[in-house]
Amino acid sequence: MDQVTRVPAAIGRSHNAVFVMPHDWTSISQFLGPLVERIDEGTHDLQLLVITSDAELAAAVTAAAVKVSSGRDIGIVAATSSRRAARLIRIKPPQVVAGAPETLVELLKGAAIKLDTVRTVCIAWADEMLVSDAASSLETIMAEVPKDAARTVVTAELNPQIEDLLERYARRAPRVASPTVEGDAATSLEYVTASATTRLSALRRLLDEADPQSAIVFARDEQSELEVRDLLASLGYSGKDAPIRAGKTAAPGTELVVLFDLPASREELREATSSAKRSVALIQPRQLSSLRALAGGPLKSITLPESAGRARAHESRMRDELRTALASGQFGRELLALEPLLDEYDGIEIAAAALQLLDRERAARAAAATVAAAAPAMRTKENVAMVPLFVNVGTRDGARPADIVGSIASQPGLSSGDIGRVDVRESHTVVEVAAGVVDTVIEKLTGSNIRGRRAIARRDEGRPRPPRREGGRDDAKGEGRRDAGRRPSGRSGPPARRPRRDD
């Protein structure tokens, strides 16, 4: 494995680079700044392409690009929607485009962007991209990128899959990361999960619940620190002597440290938390693996009271079922099957994953039962035009008709009555849905998880099928089949011999 360094300046302006850093959006400027500096303002061609794991990260990347450009005349577009991005690109071609692989492929197919002028391509974060099953779209994009374009890859971890990706797209690129020191003591951490847009609300609820006498809120980014200071001021904590304030390091005896941003290294984590009695991180779910690597040991999750209250009834029933199973069950085979996972995950995480799979299976069975009960009525329903949809999940993914039906029927505003035939094939599925809900089904189904794979749905044909009739066959097609063997009227005897080629 190539040597990992912590000195970004060691990487030339036109060389490949691999940044190993946590899933923290405040770290974007660290790898994006040098890339934006290379852009030539005098050339209005696409020069920097940033391939992100999803649309939210694409928006965060372009927001950071606007900051680091420092008022330079650089066109920047966040391709969070292919239609909107294509329209903006036609109006004014940008020098920087960021988007998820699927969206960028759509822009390529529609000729909205061309990659022959790209000087630098950045993949951020690569480990998320592999988990979201975007490898094929990524390969399509990288095949269009000029071979002499510089490559920058950002990842939260280095594993065999990431090493394969680096070998393919950024071979022998130097690694930029904070070194892991052998023998580092683990840091005791608790965490609360929140989205990027609800972190301030989660911080307020955490302070209400903990009610600390003294606390430091760690924020690495200037914008994050400003948001934290405004929130604390609104809660009554203002001034340098306030018991709760934004800062980088906790004074000895500080009761609580809240990590509003994720530290970039174990050293930074220790500096922020070593003097505190308790440390809690506010993280997005995608950052859990990064936090675990930084802490160097197990983590403890916290569920804030407001969140717990919304699901109390369901959780109570779930616990009762588990108590019954624990009191009466024998778990020899199950324990042997799960034991290897304890080397990588905490027991409560394994149990949570098992419950998630169980809930998904129950939802699929309930949806399948509903479809089976309504099937006779659906077959006799007239004047219902059905449109076939292509879904990129098939039998090789372990998918069944019940999984497809459950994924559609469980979406708000949809029901099993909107679903017709479901044909699960090896690599994909063709499912019929009512013409009136086609766009809704495509929007809701795309991005959902079916049997561990991120689903993508689109129209299978350009026009809807005619209304279904009794027996599920089209009368015109049946009539055509019946006429296929008839001889033309007015003729008798055997059918005319078809001319041979040598005749």
The C-alpha atoms of residue 266 and residue 268 are separated, in whole angstroms, by 5
The answer to whether residue 503 is domain-embedded is no
- Sheet strand arrangement including 457-459: 419-424, 429-434, 386-391, 457-459
pTM equals: 0.51
Percent of the chain clearing pLDDT 90 (strictly above): 30
Query: What is the pLDDT, as a whole number, of residue 197?
Result: 80
DSSP class of 425: -
How far is residue 453's CA from residue 444's CA, in Å, rounded to a whole number? 15
Note whether 107 and 40 are same-domain residues: yes
The answer to whether residues 145 and 205 belong to one domain is no
Task: Specify the amino acid at residue 56.
Answer: E
Same domain, 34 and 72: yes
Full domain range(s) for residue 438 = 366-480
pLDDT, residue 367, reads 65
With 0-12 / 13-18 / 19 or more C-beta atoms within 10 angstroms meaning exposed / middle / buried, residue 27 is buried
172 & 265 share domain:
no
460 and 406 part of one domain? yes
Peptide bond into 25 cis (omega under 30): no
Local structure of residue 243 (DSSP, 8 states):
S
Compute the average pLDDT of residues 478-503.
Answer: 45
The tally of domains found in the chain comes to: 3
Residue (of 50, 12, 64) closest to 154 by Cα position: 50
Highest mean pLDDT among 126-135, 147-156, 313-322: 147-156
Is the pLDDT reported for residue 470 higher than 60? no
CATH of the domain at 430: 3.30.70.330
* pLDDT at 149 (0 to 100): 93
Same domain? For 168 and 282 the reply is: no
pLDDT digits (tens, 9 = 90+) for 10-54: 444 457 899 988 877 777 888 999 999 999 988 889 999 999 988
Structure token pair of residue 82: 């292919």
Asked if 52 and 124 sit in the same domain, the reply is yes
* Higher pLDDT, residue 12 or 273: 273
Q: Quick one: 111 and 245 in the same domain?
A: no
Which strand (E) or helix (H) includes residue 405?
helix 401-409
Determine contact, residues 131/289, Cβ cutoff 8 Å: no
pLDDT digits (tens, 9 = 90+) for 384-400: 678 899 999 988 888 88
Which residues have a Cβ under 8 Å from the Cβ of 110 and sit 6 or more positions away? 82, 86
Contacts of 274 (CB under 8 A, 6+ apart): 250
Rounded to the nearest integer, the mean pLDDT of the chain is: 79
> Is residue 361 in some structural domain?
no
Compute the average pLDDT of residues 59-88. Answer: 91
300 residue type, one letter: K
Report CA torsion sign: 400, 405, 408, 412: negative
DSSP 362: H
Neighbours of 397 (CB within 10 A): 19
Domain assignment present for residue 333? The answer is: no
- What is the pLDDT at residue 309? 53
CATH assignment at residue 279: 3.40.50.300
| pLDDT higher than threshold 50 for residue 313 | yes
* pLDDT at residue 7 is higher than 50: no
Whether residue 361 has pLDDT greater than 80: no
* Residue 320 within any structural domain of the chain: no
Q: Does residue 193 sit in the same domain as residue 275?
A: yes
Check whether residue 200 and residue 172 sit in a common domain. no
Rg over alpha carbons for the chain, rounded to the nearest Å, is: 28
Q: Is the pLDDT of residue 482 over 70?
A: no
